[in-house]
């Protein structure tokens, strides 16, 4: 049986004349959480209250009477939501939700397989930052302080999604660890520790383009124009992205790293300060997707997008999200692929902002947040 919130979503779709098409979905449970042994829809709040009262009458105290239990949407509900959004946006969408590090993950794809890999794009800036802070000895407490220009690059990469700042961070990571291959392995390990089991960091490298030189020449990074990893070309799946979203803030990484990263990822997004951007990096509202759909909940999230050049099979816009609630933490990931590539790498030239907002608003309703 669908929840009232889901019925409302379906009712709205019917009112708009949305046609529901074919799709694919799955409940991944190869690391089953004993708290969620089946794929059944989560209990309602009323059911939990009745169970708590019965336990209390039997002479045993309920686990909690103040905080509702952590729940997941059912696979059927998430599949319906993905189909609706895909039909309205005329694109392909994916969504995955996980609530515990080793718990069930519910995933839905409006079409095709949810196991098809796609590029990590700018979400790689989060993994790069974590690897760099750890290379500087950050653990329970901050380790060696980053130079002022590197610290500014961290902020620019995570809040502004600056590509030039990311290049500086990658070069700094290579410098700290002794080369390209150790840096690649460090980022690969960060993703694996974050639950991205299928993530694959490639050894693709490039020299700095002319567009970043005006910014890089002002830094103190040794030879910032050298060959550096193109970490955005790493690949992962939608389940990888959701697990990594959870790991960003659930204690997987050292406390000092988690505080720094989530503190920046939960800030209001700003336009890129890349010299070549000129405000054309994102031409839609800057809080598109998670920032808009989870307003008031302070989500820590990073967006990624790319593929207009035709090098990849499709243009993909994605978000990996860590959401903290009174009940506990969620990891959420969403993607949108438009039917045609935009002229440049800008989600605002596609229906991605609206599609991801609708998808995440539906997830919020299903989670009753």
By the 8 A CB rule, do 167 and 232 touch?
A: no
Q: Report the predicted TM-score, pTM, of the whole model to 2 decimal places.
A: 0.82
Q: What pLDDT sits at residue 103?
A: 83
Q: Please count the CA atoms within 13 angstroms of the CA of 22 that sit on its side-chain side.
A: 3
Q: Taking the domains of the chain in order of start, what are their residue ranges? A: 4-34+41-54+66-366
What does the mean pLDDT of the chain come to? 86
pLDDT tens digits for range 326-365: 889 999 999 999 999 999 999 999 999 999 999 999 999 9
pLDDT tens digits for range 216-253: 999 999 999 999 999 999 999 999 999 999 999 999 99
Element (H, E) at 49: helix 45-57
- Alpha-carbon gap, residue 42 to 196, rounded angstroms: 25
Binned at pLDDT 50, 70 and 90, residue 146 comes out as very high
The maximal CA–CA distance of the chain, rounded, in angstroms, is 72
For the domain made up of 4-34+41-54+66-366, give the CATH fold.
Beta-lactamase (3.40.710)
Closest CA to 194 of 138, 238, 250: 250
The stretch 36-65 carries a mean pLDDT of: 38
SS (H, E, C) the chain: CCCHHHHHHHHHHHHCCCCCCCCEEEEECCCCCCCCCCCCCCCCHHHHHHHHHHHHHCCCCCCCCCCCCCCCCCHHHHHHHHHHHHHHHCCEEEEEEECCCCCCEEEEECCCCCCCCEECHHHHHHHHHHHHHHHCCCCCCCCCCCCHHHHHHHHHHHHCCCHHHHHHHHHHHHHHHCCHHHHHHHHHHHHHHCCCCCCECCCCEECCCHHHHHHHCCCCCCCCCCCEECHHHCEECHHHHHHHHHHCCCCCCCHHHHHHHHHHHCCCCCCCCCCCCCCCCCCCCCCCCHHHHCCCCCCEEEEEEECCCCCCCCCEEEEEEEEEECCEEEEEEEEEECCCCCCCCCHHHCCHHHHHHHHHHHHHHHCCC
Range of weakest confidence among 135-149, 204-218, 270-284: 270-284
């Amino acid at each position: 049986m669908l929840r009232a919130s889901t019925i409302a979503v379906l009712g709205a779709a019917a009112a708009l004349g949305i046609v529901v098409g074919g799709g694919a979905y799955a409940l991944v449970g190869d690391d089953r959480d004993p708290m969620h042994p089946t794929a059944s829809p989560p209990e309602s709040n009323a059911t939990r209250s009745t169970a708590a009262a019965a336990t209390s009458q039997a002479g045993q105290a309920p686990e909690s009477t103040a905080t509702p239990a952590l729940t997941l949407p059912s696979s059927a509900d998430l599949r319906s939501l993905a189909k609706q959004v895909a039909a309205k946006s005329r694109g392909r969408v994916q969504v995955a939700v996980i609530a515990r590090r080793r718990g069930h993950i519910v995933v839905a794809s409006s079409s095709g397989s949810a196991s098809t890999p796609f590029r990590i794009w700018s979400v790689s800036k989060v993994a790069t930052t974590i690897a760099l802070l750890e290379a500087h000895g950050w653990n329970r407490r901050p380790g060696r302080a980053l130079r002022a220009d590197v610290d500014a690059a961290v902020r620019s990469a995570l809040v502004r999604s600056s590509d030039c700042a990311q290049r500086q961070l990658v070069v700094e990571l290579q410098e700290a660890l002794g080369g390209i291959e150790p840096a690649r392995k460090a980022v690969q390990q960060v993703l694996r520790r974050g639950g991205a089991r299928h993530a694959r960091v490639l050894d693709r490298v490039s020299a700095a383009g002319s567009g970043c030189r005006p910014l890089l020449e002002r830094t103190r990074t040794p030879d910032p124009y050298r060959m550096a990893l193109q970490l955005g070309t790493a690949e992962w799946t939608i389940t990888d992205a959701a697990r990594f979203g959870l790991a960003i803030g659930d204690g997987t990484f050292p406390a000092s790293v988690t505080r720094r990263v989530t503190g920046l990822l939960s800030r209001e997004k700003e336009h890129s300060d890349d010299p070549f951007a000129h405000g054309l990096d994102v031409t839609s509202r800057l809080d598109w997707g998670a920032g808009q759909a989870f307003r008031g909940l302070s989500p820590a999230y990073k967006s990624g997008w790319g593929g207009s050049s035709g090098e990849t099979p499709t243009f993909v816009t994605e978000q990996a999200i860590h959401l903290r609630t009174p009940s506990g933490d969620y990891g959420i990931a969403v993607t949108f692929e438009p039917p045609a590539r935009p002229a440049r790498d800008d989600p605002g030239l596609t229906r991605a902002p609206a599609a991801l907002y609708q998808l995440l608003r539906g997830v919020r309703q299903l989670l009753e947040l």
